[in-house]
Amino acid sequence: MPETSLSVVELSGEHPNLPIAEVLAVLRGMGHSPRGVWVEPRVAAFPSEVDLPKLLARLAFARAAGKTWLWGELEEIQTRLPSLDLQGRRFRLRVADYLDGAPSSLESRLGELLATTGVVDLETPEVDLRLVRGRQAFLYPVSAEVNRGEFETRTARHRPFARPVVMHPRFARALVNLTGVAPGEILLDPFCGTGGILMEAFLVGARPVGGDLRQDVIEGCRRNLRHFRMEAELYATDVGEVSATMNQADAIATDPPYGRGATTRGEDLPDLLRRAFRAFHGVLRKGGRLAIALPDPELIELGRRHFAMLEWHKVRVHRSLDRYFCLFERS
Ligand SMILES: C[S@@+](CC[C@H](N)C(=O)[O-])C[C@H]1O[C@@H](n2cnc3c(N)ncnc32)[C@H](O)[C@@H]1O
């Protein structure tokens, strides 16, 4: 059994790659580039000393985190459990078995072993233990949890100004996080619409700057931000003008129109995006990252003309709408 304690982040499992990409991008933004990240479908574990509550406060696609007490093969953990001394503390143990999937009897079996030195308390435990089992098993006391319901409070129906197609706040947060933007840095959304991405940028401590072609949309966006007691710098401007209108951005996160006539004012989507990528190159600082939700993977080529392509993830936004979350870097 390895002796090194690992930081464990339990991923939400809503997508096969996006949750781990989000964790790595945020860690990078926090100045950590942990080597030897162990990736399971539902777990990221790494040997670095990270402020886990700070990390989890940013993540959209995670559930809980903590530092391991034990990790390795499940059988070894079972053998070692009786030697853990809970010193009479009240504890709860929850097991997530991502290997067998089925609700397991592990919880009671392992709980009994722990109860030799601790007292089971499901309501108000002093030590809230999780055992997550994938190819490896990780036992850790939870030190941070994501309040997933909190994202629901900002969905379209809670905004005074709403539009028909609005990205869910969790996806908007993931786009912001993919850029690795750090607190205090400028994050630009040049197709800001109702402001969903700007809100998430504000909440991670970035300085949001938004642009939209339509003055009425900018006014609606301003109303939304005021409603949630948030602030952003807003401009009614065509995307092609952003580098003339705005200061240099440290990051761009954006969800451009989908190419149905109304939202692009009749402009062909590839033409609009061609102009947009050129303008993004003009406004984004060197080394800055651009996270963009494209409706078609063929459009990625247009971005490659100006930026280095880092990664992309196909995301089902809703039943009839797929998006390609693409991450580019300005060299
Ligand atoms: C998909 S929506 C953005 C949705 C946004 N993420 C939200 O939370 O509401 C795209 C936005 O791009 C704006 N738009 C369309 N053409 C534009 C252009 N040439 N320059 C700037 N904005 C444009 C539209 O008015 C629309 O609000």
Residues 62 and 87 in one domain: yes
Tell which of 145, 167, 193 closes a domain: 145
- Asked, for residue 224, whether it belongs to a domain, the answer is yes
Of ligand 1's listed atoms, the one at least distance from the Cα of 195 is: 8
How far does the centroid of ligand 1 lie from the alpha carbon of residue 263, in Å? 7
Tell which of 83, 110, 145 closes a domain: 145
Instruction: Give the domain range for residue 241.
Output: 149-329
pLDDT digits 0-9 by tens, 20-31: 999 999 999 988
pLDDT at 124 > cutoff 90: yes
The closest residue, in CA terms, to atom 17 on ligand 1 is 213
Model confidence at 2, pLDDT cuts 50, 70, 90, reads low
CA distance 140 to 149: 23
pLDDT at 34 > cutoff 60: yes
For the chain, how long is the longest CA-to-CA vector? Answer: 71
Residues 65 and 153 in one domain: no
Residues 123 and 215 in one domain: no
How far does the centroid of ligand 1 lie from the alpha carbon of residue 162, in Å? 13
User: CB atoms < 10 A from the CB of 105, how many?
Assistant: 10
- Asked, for residue 2, whether it belongs to a domain, the answer is no
- Asked, for residue 243, whether it belongs to a domain, the answer is yes
How far does the centroid of ligand 1 lie from the alpha carbon of residue 61, in Å? 25
Model confidence at 261, pLDDT cuts 50, 70, 90, reads very low
Residues 140 and 72 in one domain: yes
Residues 320 and 297 in one domain: yes
Residues 127 and 188 in one domain: no
Among 171, 188, 213, the mutation site with the greatest number of ligand 1 atoms within 8 A of its Cβ is: 213
Model confidence at 98, pLDDT cuts 50, 70, 90, reads confident
- Asked, for residue 94, whether it belongs to a domain, the answer is yes
**Dihedral sign for Cα atoms in the order 269, 245, 28, 255:** negative
pLDDT digits 0-9 by tens, 148-173: 899 999 999 999 999 887 899 999 99
CB-defined site of ligand 1, < 6 Å:
163, 165-167, 190-191, 193-197, 211-214, 217, 238-239, 255-257, 263-265, 272
- Region 258-265: mean pLDDT is 64
Mean pLDDT taken over the chain: 92
Of ligand 1's listed atoms, the one at least distance from the Cα of 194 is: 9
H/E element, 138: strand 137-141
- Asked, for residue 129, whether it belongs to a domain, the answer is yes
Residues 129 and 157 in one domain: no
How far does the centroid of ligand 1 lie from the alpha carbon of residue 29, in Å? 27
How far does the centroid of ligand 1 lie from the alpha carbon of residue 256, in Å? 6
Tell which of 145, 163, 184 closes a domain: 145
Residues 182 and 66 in one domain: no
Residues 45 and 158 in one domain: no
Higher pLDDT, 181 or 37: 181
Read off the CATH number of the domain in which 312 is found.
3.40.50.150
pLDDT digits 0-9 by tens, 190-242: 999 999 999 999 999 999 999 999 999 999 999 999 999 999 999 999 999 99
Residues 286 and 311 in one domain: yes
- Asked, for residue 317, whether it belongs to a domain, the answer is yes
Residue 37 region, left (φ>0) first, then alpha (ψ -120 to 50), else beta?
A: beta
Long-range contacts of 114-120 (CB under 8 A, 24+ apart): 114/81, 114/84, 114/86, 116/82, 117/84, 117/85, 117/86, 117/87, 117/88, 118/86, 118/87, 118/88, 118/89, 118/90, 118/91, 119/88, 119/89, 119/90, 119/91, 120/90, 120/91, 120/92
Among 192, 283, 315, the mutation site with the greatest number of ligand 1 atoms within 8 A of its Cβ is: 192
Among 212, 227, 252, 292, the mutation site with the greatest number of ligand 1 atoms within 8 A of its Cβ is: 212
pLDDT recorded at residue 4: 82
Residues 47 and 175 in one domain: no
- Asked, for residue 127, whether it belongs to a domain, the answer is yes
pLDDT recorded at residue 272: 95
Read off the CATH number of the domain in which 119 is found.
3.30.2130.30
- Asked, for residue 1, whether it belongs to a domain, the answer is no
Residues 180 and 303 in one domain: yes
| Residue in 230, 252, 227 with CA at minimum distance from that of residue 306 | 252
pLDDT recorded at residue 1: 59
How far does the centroid of ligand 1 lie from the alpha carbon of residue 255, in Å? 7
pLDDT at 249 > cutoff 70: yes
- Region 11-16: mean pLDDT is 91
| Residue in 68, 66, 71, 55 with CA at minimum distance from that of residue 19 | 55
Domain count, the chain: 2
